[in-house]
Every structure is written in structure tokens, then in C-alpha cells.
Structure 1
Amino acid sequence: MAYNFIEVENRLGAHNYKPLDVVLTKGEGVWVWDVDGNKYMDCLSAYSAVNQGHCHPEILQVLKDQAEKLTLTSRAFRNDQLAHFYEELCELTGSHKVLPMNSGAEAVETAIKAVRKWGYEVKGVPEDRAEIIVCADNFHGRTITIVGFSTDPVSRAGFGPFTPGFKIVPFGDSKALEKAVTKNTVGFLAEPIQGEAGVVIPPDGYLKKARQLCDDHNIVMVLDEIQTGLGRTGKLLAEEHEGVEADLTLVGKALSGGFYPVSAVLSNTEVLGVLKPGEHGSTFGGNPLACAVARKAMEVLVKEKLIENAATVGEYFLNGLKTVQNPMIRETRGRGLLIAVEFKPGAGGARQYCEKLRDNGILCKETHENIIRFAPPLVITKEETDWALKKIIPVISS
């Protein structure tokens, strides 16, 4: 009898995910194969972690080479990859300081700690009074602190009590943001495009207004680019679409090309400068294997012009999807290769379409019940996009 992967997962694993019933075993570029040999186009990219494509051969080789030499020292000692990683990441992004972590949620937690400490030591906010403004419908991770300022009841319910010190305002509403500012406001944390909320793009000028407001009131602007950064939206960072520069920018996911958990807080010197030895850290953060992999992953993004490809092919993909004439589609939107098709509530939910697409060789995932997100690896070609559109359009047209 064949091994039943799904039955064993359901029996032995915690049911904290509801994946599509496909069991994958191999990946290359934009393609993945299941245990039965069926081939699919990956239109999720592990939530944008494999921007460089599955199992990119150059990143894979670096992983192998470094794993044979040195994988982990902890930060108790120095290693010969960390300085190069700092230098190359700062050069790529124009940052002054880097604090390496592992997961995206760790990067967010790091930013919260640094901004609060900056508020007390530099801005002069009274101890334990610091406030950080966040946006409704945000997704910054799954820790207790982070879900405490989520507005998603599924993320919050049953996990309190929560960490105080956060104010929630509507995303894209600069007037509401301004109204929420007090003398104790130390930070504003937002995604430049809300990915998990369904590729919600703020009004033009919103980030510029937020940047000016932060400048006027001495507030640290923190942009979570863990999903939108590193080429996904057709720019290196999504903040570039409005020509703004955050004080702290958070990156992760594609920073390793999907090979290893790597994240980083990018900062000006002033904010990260408040952290002293012993006040924050991670055993695996900045390890030599992570640094070596991330260095090559960044090089691939630039060398293979994947950021430019995301802009041109993303526009092509979006325009193709916009040709669909289905009265149950509320909106088709996107930027670069971060695209969403939102159905009206009466359409019966987006998961049914994801299941039909799976049966037609396309893997994607619903979010917030009525939205499908299309985010293939940035290596996708126009020819592969044409293949995808031929599969997708008939399914979502009815």
C-alpha cells in the first residue's frame, strides 16, 4: 500500500494550516512536481520566499560549499561571512546598519524592541509609555506581541492577554495616522503593500505623507518589506515606488532564495545604535551558512535582472488577468509579480478556484476567503506566463 502522506500529516500534525492537498517532492525554477509525478506552476513562491526560483543552482552550490566548511558559530565568535553579508546588503539597499535574524517575525520583534529603546533613550519618552502606530489588516507575523495588534480575529482569538503599546489606524488613511500621533509615539509600522490582506495597495502619496509625518514628529518609520521586498513588486523595495526611505526596513523570505531562514533589520545608525551587547540576539542570526546563502541570493537577483523582470512580466500577467469578464470578480490588482484577484462574497469563496487551478497545473492559495494571490517566482518568462494565463482564465471566468 502506498504511503499516505496526507493521512499521516492529519493524524500526527497540529492542524494550524489548511494546505491544498498536493504533496510536493521536487522544484526547479517556476515548476514543482508532486509525489505522483504531476507537474505544476508555483504561483505562490512560498509566500515570496523563492523569488529566485526553486533550487537555484548557484545558490544551491553555495549552500553545499559553505555547509562543508562551517555552519554555525553563534555570535559569541566572529565568522568570515558576516562582514561580507553586511557590506553587500548595505550596498544593495543603501542601509547604514544591519541586524541579522532568522524569521520575518523575529525581524519585526527586533524592530519593535529597537524602536521602543530609541524612544526612551533618544526621544525621551517616559519609561513604559512608548506607542507604536500600526495599520488595520496588517500581517507582521505570529508571535504574541504581533498578533496582539492584528485585526484578524482568527489570528487573535484565544491568545491574550496581549502586549500593550500599539495603536491601530486604517491602512492608507494619512489623516487617521496623523490623528493617532501623540508625544509618546515612537514608531509607525506598516507594510508598503499589504500582502496577506490580499495585495492591498495604498492610495498614491500615502507613504510620502507618512514619511513627512514621521519626520515632523520625530517618529521612526518602519516598513515591513519581508514579502514585498527584494524585487517582488518590480522594485528592489516596494517603498521605492513612492521614493521614500524608511528609518527601519525589514527584509526576509527571498533574502535566502528559499534555502534557509534569513531575515534582517536594515536601519540608520541612530536607531540600531541604541542596542548594546546582551540586550538582543539570536543563536542562529548571522550564522555563516545563512550569510553565504543570502549573499548569493542577492547576487542572483541583480545579475539575472529579476527585479526588472518582475516589473515587465508582472504588468503583462496583470493585464492578462484583467481581460477576464466575470461579474463575480470584484477587482484584479497588483504591482510587479504580486497580484490578487478578489471575488465578491457571493462567489462561494476563492478556495474552490484554487482547487480547480491545482487540477489544471497551477498552484496558488486563497487569502481572506475571497482573494487569490498570484505571485510566481521572479524567474518566470512571458512564455510561461502565457501558459499560466491559458490555464487560469477559463477557471476564474466562471
Structure 2
Amino acid sequence: MDAPPLAAPPPLRVSPELPLEIVEDIFILVPPEDCAFLLRAALACKTWAHLFASRGFSRRYRQRHRGAAPLLGFLANLADTGGAARFIPATISGGGFRPFRADSHGYRAHDARYGRVLLSRVSVTSTTDTTSAQSIFLAVWVPITGEVWRLPPLLRHRPVRSWNAAVICDPFRVVVVGMDTRELFVYTYVPEAHAWFVFAAGKPVSDQLDGDVAGVLVSDALHFVLLKGTRILKYHLLTREVSTIRLPNRRRAYGPRITLMAMEDGRRLGFAEVCTVTNILRFMALNIGRHGETSWEMIRFIDLHDKLPAEAISPLGFLPRVVAVAEGVDVVFLKTADGLTLDLKSGKVTKIPMTNGFFDIIPYVSFYVPVLKAALVVPSGVGTSGGASTSGNNVQHVDHLG
């Protein structure tokens, strides 16, 4: 008797593909310290790799894990390049990140925020024997992707006494605050229009902006140090009001140099400085009263004699001063005979790995997954958070700035 024919196997049931919106909602929950999980997921699926590389995912990830991004490195404006910036990778926390190009080729690092670096180069062109026009050339660089936005030249027909600038928002904006002999002005660059919008904020203050100290964003307002070191200039982004905040214990101008910092997740203004007499590193925070009155309080101090090597604070050597504070990671950059970093959590002091002298430093804090460096071209429609398109004449994928 013949055996009964074998029954046909049931048809394979293919699991329905999850919409990218749900995939993004799942992976957005992965904590930054477990970036290896994102790496494995990106290697398993090219579509996921493109999703993770999209600016929309990056923006949502930063918003979800605000303040948790690692220090990937810093940009040092070097003495032997005339102030042009070079990217120096962080030794451990950066996870081995290195940008496509380390040198900025004639551009100075001015600010960094949300994974973007603001670069500047100033050119003065004489127009007559008595007047001159000044053009400020700015660019926004994303070290992780290599993208560069070349901004239109910002032309002033009167000599600019001083200025400072910051890159803000996500999608980004660039704000330039400056003064000439007649007015204090504010320019805002809007990438959607590829244009500057100007706002005359009033008469200039009796001081100049310190362009060597990066500004800080606190509670919808930009804050910049004034050159004499006795006041801070505040520009409110929503109301466009300009005011000044007096610094504590400043009986004379040009005292110890301070570095501004955002405290309490960007809700409170603070600064760090080193006392030149005691070598005490102190952190000050601003209090604002019910009626707008201001006062400062010291919230922490560190005796650098207990932290730094003896030669770093020798009376015959270079007295230490704060040149930068990496927001969200509690790392202070100090300029001594050599450059040093001080981790406020562990107390560890590390020598900055470079042999050339530097003028100032801009920390670079951002999320980074190594495999995403190879997935920079994002297909249209991938990424549900509405990242702005990179097409257009003002966006260039280049290896250098010339």
C-alpha cells in the first residue's frame, strides 16, 4: 500500500516590517553609554544605519538624553597657525572619534553646540583713507559628518569695534552680536533663507566684547563676556532685549579672566575662574530675585595645589587660568605652561595631548556611533523627525575649509 502523499508545508509567515517611526521610537531609548547596541543594530540593517545617521534621529536622541553626550574632543586655536583651529580627539571619552579633517585651514573655532562648530575668519577691506568696511566670514562645520555650511559674508560699512557669535538651536541658527562706534547690532543667520537678518539693538556699551571667550546659552538668552572683565552682556533671543550683568568683586578692570558656563541643564548662568593669589578654582552661580535683582554665590571651590603638578602653579611659571568648561560632562580646561584638563567628577588631571601653544579652546560634546560615519548619505524619506535637507548651494560636503 502506497504511503499517503506528504502534505504541503504551510506557507511561511513573514513578520510585518515595523514602520520606521516605531523603530525610531524604540532605538531612541538606548542610553548613550550603550552605544555599542546601536552599532550592532546598524551593522545588522542598512536601513537602520541610515536612520541612525539622519539628523532627525540625532536631534531627537540629543533631546531625549540631554546633557549625557560625551566629550569627543576639542578645537584648539593654535599659536603656530596664527589662531587657526585644530581638532584634538579626547583620549577616552571620545570613543576614538576623529573628524575627516583635523585642521580648519585659516578658520578660528568660535563656538560649538548641538554637534556643530562655528568657525570664523575676519577680513578688513579699506574703502577710503579714513573709513573701512569689514567683512566677517563664518562657517558652520559638523565634524562627525564633514558637512560645512558657508554663510554669506556679513558686511559692515563701518569698522567693527568688537563682536562675538554663537551657534544655537536645532535646526541651527547663528547669532552675531557686535558694536561699532555708533550702535550695538545683532545679526541672525537663518539657513532656510540663506540670509542674515539684522536688528539694531541700541547704543554701544562703554566696553568691548571679548571675542576670545565663547558665549553661553542660558534660558533663551546668550551671554558674552565684556573685555574689561567687570560685566557680562546679555541678549535675550525672544524679546531682543540687551542688558548687562555686573560680575562680583571686580574693583578694577582686567582682573582674572573668567569662563562662562551653563548650570542646572542650561537654566542658570555661572562662571569659573582661578584666583591669581590663592590658585583657588571657584565656580560662581547667578541668583535672580523676584524683582530682577541679581547676586552671585560661590557653589564650589577647588584648591589647585591639591590637584595640579607643582610646576603648573609655580610662582615663576605660568599661572593657571580657566579657558573652557565642557557643558554637561564636568570637564574644565586649564591653561598652564601646558594645557590640562580637570575632571570634576573623578578629580583626574590629564595633560592635553598637543605640543603647540594655544590661544583658547572650544570643547566638542556630541553623540557619536562609529559605524554611522560610513552612512552619511541619508535616503529621502528616512528619518521621521524632519531633519532639514542638506541640498543647496550653501551646504558642502568637503574635506577642508579654504
Answer yes or no: same fold by TM over 0.5: no
Where on the TM-score scale, by shorter chain, does this alignment land: which range? Answer: under 0.3
TM-score, with normalisation over the residues of structure 1? Answer: 0.26
Q: Greater relative contact order: 1 or 2 (C-alpha under 8 angstroms, separation 6 or more)?
A: 1
Structure with a larger share of its residues in helix: 1
TM-score, with normalisation over the residues of structure 2? Answer: 0.26
Which has the larger Rg?
Answer: 2
